[in-house]
Copies of this chain bind each other. A is one copy, B any other.
Amino acid sequence: MLPKEVGESLSYITYGLYIVTSVDGEKKNGLIVNTVFQVTAEPARVAISVNKNSLTHEYISKSGKFAAMPLAQNTTLPFIGIFGFRTGRNFDKFANVPYKMGPSGCPIVLKDTLSYMEVKVFNTVDMGTHTLFIGDVTDADILCCEHGVPLTYEYYHTVIKGKTPKGATHR
């Protein structure tokens, strides 16, 4: 258990909410993360941190690629629940969710997402409970309306009254 002041101090970090998907052959899965971190602008390089226990971690490790999609502010709690609160080991998260396959071969969720970026992983860093996947953006496009408002973790927590599952980096 972390000292209370550490948790409180880190609670001022600003987060978004993103669906991250990946594939293992024909199989596909996705989960929710609170940070997509743009580490350089040119080339466009991003990093994500994924819990090692998750099925999506297994898929990204195998395929070396993932897609990340910022969620819109009006995303509903049940929709977040599909990707954020269930494991894909015994449940097809895409069964009732509109999606298309992206140019790099990862599923692009088409509901409540503002844009997507497909990423080719070129470095991984073992962080203990999580792995940091760092990669180059290979494809990206807008999915939604102009000037869409992204869902922040703050809005999710205070307005949508969403909870944070065990194993998340921010809790």
Interface residues of A (CB under 8 A from B): 1-3, 5-6, 8-16, 35-47, 49, 70, 114-117, 123, 125, 127-130, 132, 134, 137, 140-142, 148, 150, 152-153, 168-171
Apart from A2-B41, A6-B137, A13-B70, what are 7 other A-B pairs with CB-CB below 8 Å? Answer: A3-B140, A10-B38, A12-B115, A12-B150, A35-B35, A42-B129, A45-B127
Interface SS of chain A: mixed
Cβ-defined contact, A14 with B14, below 8 A: yes
Nearest B residue to A116, CB-CB:
B9
A89 CA / B125 CA spacing, docked (Å): 32
Chain B residues lying within 8 Å of A153, measured Cβ to Cβ, are 14
Cβ-defined contact, B13 with A13, below 8 A: no
A129 CA / B142 CA spacing, docked (Å): 26
